[in-house]
Structure 1
Amino acid sequence: MITYNTINVAMPKIRRRDNSAWVKRVAASYGRKVGDVAYIFCDDEEILRVNRQYLQHDYYTDIITFDYDEDDVISGDLFISLDTVRTNAEQLGVSYEQELNRVIIHGILHLCGINDKGPGEREIMEAAENKALAMRETRA
């Protein structure tokens, strides 16, 4: 089950049913099923609190993914700072909706086993994001 929650922000304008179907298609393309995935949309202060408390990182970020996968079933909590998504969209010159979709699927790709911190991994993640975003556009 995919759930959508908020802390300190209004729920973004996303079509939950379409988003959930897209997430399931992307996961299936990696041979995974979707278990319990919780999207928690929040503000910068909440994501900073989570980052400090659970990861001992003292900085803002767009998404934090807590991975609870078991075998081929992806599960996790995905904290997304809508403040940072908006700032990143402005800096990248893309729409807020486009950047939000990228971050929404970024967390799912982490749950599917794709990393972005090591050498060459960022490029792999970007390619996976682009492939997943194309899957959304063809079925939306």
Structure 2
Amino acid sequence: MSLRLEWNNEQQVMEISPEFIAKLEQLLQLAGQSEHVSEGEVALTFVDDAEIQRLNKEYRGLDKPTDVLSFAMQEMGEDEIEIVFDDIDFVEEDDLREGALLDGTEEEDSLEADDAGEPFEEPLGDIIISVPRAIAQSEDYGHSVERELGFLFVHGFLHLIGYDHQTEEEEKAMFGKQEEILQQAGLVR
């Protein structure tokens, strides 16, 4: 098992190179090491302002574009129902063998693998980044678009694992961690 990035490009403003995706994967690994997160999947999607505005309105009630949205899979919202698995028949680990189902029938794939044979990674959550916002902010701050996208990605990841910046103290801690990770990856101002 490992920390894995799944990404999607739904915008037409900027070409996303394979080299930049490799940099994002490096950032994910560095952030994971920094925070002792070694397993899970992060889904990253690049969008335009119209799409992020739609999502911001739908999920946060704010009818305006934003730079990044994070949707953590591990946190419980007040309207969510906790799923309790108390009626499942569990089988001792020694009784399981690859390809055997709980009802005694056979299956071709392992119980812990997806259709491609890859181990299942627990989803940490989704990060949505507006590329037009990142471009504008990089110009405002006087650094590269890659650094801004990297900053937003690390920011989103830290939100996925529980960080927030509601207070000045929280903001200082979170932004300090982001800067340290970006420096390690060579994304400096």
Assess same fold via TM > 0.5: yes
Larger Rg: 2
Q: Say whether residues 1:62 and 2:67 are aligned partners.
A: yes
TM-score normalised by length of structure 2:
0.64
SS of residue paired to 1:33 = coil
Residue 16 of structure 2 aligns with which residue? 12
Contact 1:24 1:34 in 2 (8 A): no
Residue 91 of structure 1 aligns with which residue? 140
In the TM superposition, residue 14 of structure 1 has moved relative to its aligned partner by 5.1
Pair 1:93–1:25, CA change in 2 (3 A): closer
Q: Share of identical aligned residues, percent?
A: 27
Q: Return 49-58 or 111-120, whichever deviates more.
A: 111-120
Runs of 4+ with >6 A deviation: none
Unaligned runs of 5+ in 2: 76-121
Residue 3 of structure 1 aligns with which residue? 6
CA distance in 2, matches of 1:90, 1:45: 20
1:40 to 20, 27, 45: 45
CA distance in 2, matches of 1:119, 1:44: 28
TM-score normalised by length of structure 1:
0.85
Residue 22 of structure 1 aligns with which residue? 27
Contact 1:76 1:111 in 2 (8 A): yes
In the TM superposition, residue 74 of structure 1 has moved relative to its aligned partner by 6.3
CA distance in 1, matches of 2:48, 2:125: 19
Q: Say whether residues 1:100 and 2:149 are aligned partners.
A: yes
CA distance in 2, matches of 1:21, 1:48: 28
The amino acid across from 2:168 in the alignment is: P
Q: Number of aligned pairs?
A: 136
In the TM superposition, residue 114 of structure 1 has moved relative to its aligned partner by 1.7
SS of residue paired to 2:66 = coil
User: RCO (CA 8 Å, sep 6+): is it higher in 1 or 2?
Assistant: 2
Residue 174 of structure 2 aligns with which residue? 125
Q: Return 83-92 or 12-21, whichever deviates more.
A: 12-21
CA distance in 1, matches of 2:29, 2:137: 26
Contact 1:88 1:99 in 2 (8 A): yes
Q: Which has the higher helix share?
A: 1
